[in-house]
Amino acid sequence: MQSLPQIAKALACGRTTSRALVEACLERYADPNGEGPRAFISLDARVARAAAEESDRLRAAGRSRSPYEGISIAIKDLFDIAGERTRAGSRVFDDRLPATRDARVIARLRAAGFIPFGRTNMTEFAYSGLGMNAHFGTPLNPWRRDEGRIPGGSTSGGAVAVADGMAPIALGSDTGGSCRIPAAFCSIVGFKPTASRIPTTATVPLAPSFDSIGSLGNDVESCAIIDAVLCGDAPSGARDFPVDGAKLAVPRSLVLDGLAPEVAQSFEQAVSRLSKAGARIIDLGLEELGEIPKINARGGIVNAEAWGYHRRIVETAAERYDPWVLARFEVGKRMNVADYIEMRELRADLIARVAAITAPFDALICPTVAIVPPTLESMRDPDFSGKTNGLILRNAAVGNFLDRCAVSIPSHAPGTAPVGLMLIGATGADRLLLALAKAIEPIIRLHHG
């Protein structure tokens, strides 16, 4: 699957049409050897074809809404689309009425000519980094698919859809790594913006203080284009940023602990290549990151806010939840208002202190996930899956806790275990981070597509 600029160029010069692109995506979805039925909770081919034909008519009449008119985007089952039911990957909302209007981000994508393409599978209510779904099945990771490895979550279906060519780009959410973790596990790019930049209206929440809306794509430029659209701006890619002289800090606390050998090797090689390209790599103690698990030890802000949303639903529909997910929600039940207020105060203080320490750097860099994708079979042990989920979330969640933007880029050699390199930017410095990521991408990505 090509990048959005490459597809837009092919459309502009008549080498392809939106209808042809949709048909190619539908063909990949219907491949009996593929993951289509597990990657998507629902997909209406008739609606997708009709939207593509309308885009082709607009382009032929010279009325394209943007250069990306007629390109499909897979939508996580978290966002309201007019006329469709939003389930959030759960059976709890089976009886929910179809949405009467689009979520604001969906409306912005439509205004730029993008075609919502199906509703992708996800961890129930976006509450896990594993990507498993007990209700709709779990789409398998492209890497060693015959071994049945997890895709990462919570935007599991979106990641597999992009990796398998069922869509050129996917819309996701990221509360603790839900765009970047599956991107790293599936060898694609995942971007998490600063949370406040993009509206979350008509989106099923997990934790409003942390929820952010991002994308998963084949390259950084594609994610940058979607980011501009989601912010309500004209679609535009990332600007240029010189790698030579860029100041990149490697935190030596928390995020490098307990790395799988494949992850450690890939990270060391990526750092070496960046250094040879002229980037200034600085080791940074940043012991402050060790405060994050201590602040979360009483349950965590995410758990508290998630329980605030789900407590009334649980009263009448507990039996419809995946028990594993429900148990995690109920952690929030044990917290009180004083705990919540204190955790928020401690978080704000930590954000300010880390911002001051890291101000001289263009970005922090570390592995996106500490391990490589485990097998779905190994996740059947609840204790093991719980510990694995925590380890998978650990690094990516740093960016959410510190209210920053972050991006994951594949850094492993083709054919080897998937590993992502994560860049964490300053709060609100999203476009700068995307520019840096675009420059770094060809250096660390070797000869990936």
Give the residue numbers annotated as catalytic, written as ranges. Answer: 76, 154, 178
DSSP designation for 282: E
CA distance 309 to 249: 37
Long-range residue pairs from 106-111, CB within 8 A, at least 24 positions apart, any chain: 106/75, 106/79, 106/80, 106/81, 106/202, 108/229, 108/230, 108/232, 109/73, 109/171, 109/226, 109/229, 109/230, 111/65
CA distance 176 to 126: 10
Other C-beta atoms lying within 10 Å of the C-beta of residue 387? 11
Contact 74, 158 (CB under 8 A): yes
Those residues whose C-beta lies under 8 Å from the C-beta of residue 308, and which sit 6 or more positions away, are 332
C-alpha angle 78/182/214, rounded to 5°?
50
Containing H/E element for 420? strand 420-424
Q: Which amino acid is at 270?
A: A
Q: Which amino acid is at 315?
A: E
Beta strand pairing call for 420-424 and 406-410: antiparallel
Structure tokens at 180: 């970047």
DSSP bridge partners of 248: 281, 363
DSSP bridge partners of 377: none
Structure tokens at 124: 């129930």
Those residues whose C-beta lies under 8 Å from the C-beta of residue 40, and which sit 6 or more positions away, are 29, 74, 118, 119, 120, 121, 157, 161, 166
Beta strand pairing call for 363-367 and 169-174: unpaired
DSSP designation for 79: B
CA distance 167 to 441: 21
Structure tokens at 59: 């382009």
Contact 150, 130 (CB under 8 A): yes
